[in-house]
Amino acid sequence: MDFLSHILWANLLFRKKQWRWQGVAFAILPDFPIALVMPLYILGYNVDAMRQLWSIDFATHSLLVIGILFVLASLYLKRYYYPLIFGSTLHVFTDLVTHKGSHAGYPPGTALFYPLTEFRIDGIINYEKDLWFLVLNFGALILIYSYIYLKGKKQNEGV
C-alpha cells in the first residue's frame, strides 16, 4: 500500500486511542528504509542501493521481528506497547494484500517470517497498477473521513 494510505488508515483506526500518533508512526515505519532511497532510484541512480536495503525492509515487514520488538519494548516499558504491535501489523497485513508482483527491482510479496525464511507471499492487488483499487481505497477514505467530520460538526451544533 502507498505511504499516504498507511497514514490515513492508521489514523482512522487508532483515532480514539491515547497512543494514536504513535500507532500512526509505527504504521509507516516499516517503509522508511525504502522511502529514504526511493528518490535516488526515481532520479535514475543505481538500483543496487535499493537492493542493499532489502534485508532491512524484509525485517521491518516480518511478523517475527515485529513480535520480538513488541516483547522487548513491552518488557522494557513494563506494559504492553500496543502502538508498535497494532501499527506495524496493520502495515504488514495491508501490504500482504496490496503488494502483488515486484516494483523498483524489489522481489514480489511479503516475507512474513524473515529472517527464518525469505519465503514470500505475493499479494492479490497491485496498488501501483490496479486503478480500481486506487479509486476504491481513496474513495472509501474520503467517505469515511467526511462522515466523521460531518458527524462531529452536527454534534457540535447541537451543544
- pLDDT tens column, 39-77: 777 787 766 666 667 778 888 999 999 999 999 999 999
pLDDT of residue 46: 67
More confident residue, 37 or 136: 136
Cell numbers for 33, please give them: 528504509
Tell me the pLDDT band of 5, cut-offs 50, 70 and 90.
very high
More confident residue, 53 or 88: 88
Phi, psi of 38, rounded to the nearest 5 degrees: -55, -40
More confident residue, 119 or 159: 119
Cell numbers for 3, please give them: 505511504
Tell me the pLDDT band of 103, cut-offs 50, 70 and 90.
low
pTM score of the predicted model: 0.87
Q: How far is CA 104 from CA 14, 18, 100, 116, 129, in A?
A: 31, 37, 13, 24, 13
pLDDT of residue 104: 56
In this prediction, residues 96-122 reach a mean pLDDT of: 83
Tell me the pLDDT band of 107, cut-offs 50, 70 and 90.
confident
Dump pLDDT digits (tens) for 119-150: 889 999 998 889 999 999 999 999 999 999 99
